């Protein structure tokens, strides 16, 4: 094992909404992604989803108990979307995030709206 530079990991790819797996902790992947624009409304039925904003600003729209709200995460902020909560991340400008999810978790969740072409429906890509 060697230390991993998150800056180098992020510099190694250009695609947005296409996370790279930088390491694993027990049965969880630690992923970094470049994001901009809208993701897709989706739900993870069996797992929470942890977000850390490394650079930029991430908005996460949430549908809870029949109402919608949006949380805004500036650089350095963390937020966990509880399992079963419908959500849609959005970045108004280029943003870098770190996400922690169980290994094999699909980026578009267990249930989702139609996936737009700019969103990579993946369980994460290996860092090169």
Q: What is the pLDDT of residue 113?
A: 82
Q: Are 91 and 37 in contact (CB under 8 A)?
A: yes
Under-50 pLDDT residues of the chain: none
pTM of the shown model: 0.94
Q: What is the pLDDT of residue 68?
A: 96
Single out the residue of 41, 10, 55, 8 nearest to residue 119, CA to CA.
41
């Amino acid at each position: 094992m060697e230390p991993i530079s998150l800056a180098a990991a992020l510099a190694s790819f250009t695609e947005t909404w296409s996370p790279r797996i930088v390491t694993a902790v027990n049965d969880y992947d630690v992923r970094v992604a470049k994001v901009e624009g809208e993701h897709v409304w989706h739900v993870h039925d069996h797992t929470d989803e942890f977000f850390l904003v490394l650079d930029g600003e991430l908005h996460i729209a949430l549908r809870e108990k029949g109402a919608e709200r949006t949380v805004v995460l500036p650089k350095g902020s963390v937020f966990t979307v509880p399992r079963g909560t419908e959500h849609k991340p959005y970045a108004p400008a280029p943003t870098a995030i770190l996400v922690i999810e169980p290994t094999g978790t699909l980026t578009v969740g267990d249930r989702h709206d139609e996936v737009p072409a700019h969103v990579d429906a993946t369980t994460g890509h290996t860092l090169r």
